[in-house]
Structure 1
Amino acid sequence: MTQPRAPRCVLMAGLPGSGKTTLARALEQQGFIRMCPDEQVWQEHGHYGRDFPRGQYRIRERPILDRIATELHDALTAGRDVVVDHGFWTVEERERWRAAGELAGAQVLLVYLPGDHDTLWKRIDERNRTTYSDPNSMYFSEDDLRRHGNSFVAPGLDESPLVYDGRPETVLTALVDGDTPQSTC
């Protein structure tokens, strides 16, 4: 009798415009539950900088992250695969969420989505021109990107990240193999 495989939990580390939502949606197509704090902030509070003040994001996000942590635990303990569509900018955040996934019995994979300023800004600028009805298209300025870039701590080798190469198959292969290669670029 074969042992059932552990549920899989994908956490991402990356700035706005790095491709997190694109990857998360691709994994969702493969059966993963996609949990996206930004979308829940939008559903409950509207657009950042338009419907509520720009300095209020973290305050409004905190209870949503707490709720998602509970939903993550419930989904993983039920044997479901989950991708958390969030940037996880600090080592402490990533450690906390990794521990939560492991506590629920999941195989946790941290995927790092790097990006240089010009590429990220080009993607964000294009997204800024889309409709306000998309929760992932909140207006984000180039100054916001610079400021957030200064706050972002890229995962170190001690966190065993999979450096994303732009192909969802690479993430799925790492999960099947149980490996977390340092880089696939």
Structure 2
Amino acid sequence: MRPHDSSAGSTARVVLVCGPAGSGKSTYARRLEAQGYARLSFDEEAWLRGHTEHPLPPAAAAAVHATLHERLAGLVRAGRDAVVDTSFWSRASRDDYRALLAPLGVVPVVHYLATPRDEVLRRLAGRTGGGPHDVVVEPERALAYLEGFEVPTADEGPLVVVHPG
């Protein structure tokens, strides 16, 4: 089953999985991957580059996003559906990917994981640093991430709100 139709010229569909650390983005993205989407993960790319703590230095984060942009554009040109797994914590970060995709004829759909704050904090408290989706986030940083997160709205473009359960 296809969760939406994001194409505006291309046959590829793109989902931007959006939510703060601990909201369940990677689990959700893997579900879409099982449905045939190519999955691009910020955390996995950062981990492969030796970045095992967050936040990444700005230059390192920019390099990871540049790699994801290149891979995403290639997938879309090949007609492949893709899901991008990163926090997309700001509207500007989401707009950046929209700007990449617009000339390729794709309007991405943001899937926002509206995970309750207490659940996010519980999940983050249980992290051990064992892999790219288990990066330790100190309590103060977790609160800062939650307070600084810009929740997407429908005026940005196609939006699906997911209530993980």
* TM-score for the superposition, normalised by structure 2: 0.85
Alpha-carbon shift at residue 5 of structure 1 (Å): 7.0
**In 2, distance between residues paired with 1:143 and 1:63?**
26
Deviations 1:118-152 (A, max 9, x none): 110111222x14x62x2111111121111111221
In the alignment, which residue of structure 2 is the partner of 1:165? 163
Which residue identity is paired with 1:141? Answer: E
Query: Paired residue for 1:135?
Result: 132
Given the superposition, is the C-alpha separation of residues 55 and 164 from structure 1 closer, same or farther in structure 2, using an over 3 Å criterion?
A: closer
CA 1:96–1:120 in 2, change beyond 3 Å: closer, same or farther? same
Summarize the alignment of residues 27-176 of structure 1 with structure 2, pairs less than 5 Å apart. 27-48=32-53, 56-126=56-126, 128-129=127-128, 132=130, 134-159=131-156, 160-166=158-164
CA contact (8 A) 2:42 2:64 kept: yes
Question: Does structure 1 retain, via aligned residues, the 8 Å contact 2:10–2:76?
Answer: no
How many Å apart are 1:166 and its aligned residue? 3.2
How many residues are aligned here?
156
SS of the aligned residue for 1:115 comes to coil
User: Which whole-Å deviations, capped at 9, do the CAs of 1:31-51 have from their partners, x for residues lacking one?
Assistant: 111101111111112411xxx
Q: Secondary structure at the match of 1:166?
A: coil
Aligned match of 2:5: none
Q: Does the 8 A contact of 1:12 with 1:111 survive in 2? A: yes
Q: Is the 8 A contact 2:17 2:84 kept in 1?
A: yes
Unaligned runs of 5+ in 1: 49-53, 168-185
Structure 1 pair 135–55 and aligned structure 2 pair: CA distance change class (3 A)? closer
- When residues 36 and 56 of structure 1 are mapped into structure 2, their CA distance, relative to the original with a 3 A threshold, is closer
Sequence identity (%): 28
Letter of the structure 2 residue corresponding to residue 156 of structure 1: T
Give every structure 1 segment of 4 or more consecutive aligned residues whose post-TM-superposition deviation is greater than 6 Å.
Answer: none
Paired letter, 2:100: A
Structure 1 residue 164: Cα displacement: 0.8
Q: Which has the higher helix share?
A: 1
Structure 2: stretches of 5+ with no match in the other structure: 1-8
- The code of the aligned residue for 1:145 comes to A
